[in-house]
Amino acid sequence: MQDSRLSNVARISVERSTPAPLDEVLRWLVQHQGTAMRLDSEEVPALGRHSWLRLARPITARRAVLCTLWLVDDVVAGACLLAGHLRFVAHPTRSLVRLSFSGRTAVAMSSGALHRQAEHAARQLLEVIGSSIERPRAA
C-alpha cells in the first residue's frame, strides 16, 4: 500500500531569482517562521483555493539560507499540499539571490487537478515568496 502512495507523489523542483539581498531574505524568513501566512487563490491560482504557508526556522551559511516549507489546506487540521525546502543562494559578486524549492506533493494532492498543477503551483508559490521578500506585505 505504501508503494502505491509513493508512486502518486510527484517530486517538484523549481527556481527563480530575486534582487533582494540575503540579509533581507533571512529577516523575512525569521519574521514568518512559526506562523501561518494565508495565500489567497489569486496568489496561487493553480491550487484554485486559498492555502496557508508555514515556514520552519531557517538555517544559515555564508552565502545561503535553507528553510523547510509546508503548504497546507487549513492551519489547524488541514492536509499538507506541498512540502519541501527553500534554498536561497547569494551570487558571489552581485546582490542577486537564487531562490529554489525542492519537495514533493503530499498525499492530499496525489490525484486530480491539484496533482497535475503541482509544479505550476510551486512556481507561483516562489513568485509570491520572492515578491513578498522584495516588497514586504502589510501586516
Mean pLDDT of the chain: 84
CATH of 2-134, one of 2.30.30, 3.40.50, 3.40.1000, 3.30.530: 3.30.530
Give the pLDDT confidence of 21-72 residue by residue, as tens digits: 899 999 999 999 988 999 998 999 988 888 999 999 999 999 999 999 999 8
Residue 106 CB-half CA count within 13 A? 13
The conformational region for residue 28 under phi > 0 = left, psi -120 to 50 = alpha, else beta, is alpha
Residue 136 has a pLDDT of 59
Residue 4 has a pLDDT of 47
CA distance 131 to 70: 18
Residue 49 has a pLDDT of 83
Residue 112 has a pLDDT of 56
| Domains in the chain: boundaries | 2-134
110 and 8 Cβ atoms separated by less than 8 Å: yes
Task: Give the torsion through C-alpha atoms of 61, 80, 52, 136, to 10 deg.
Answer: 20
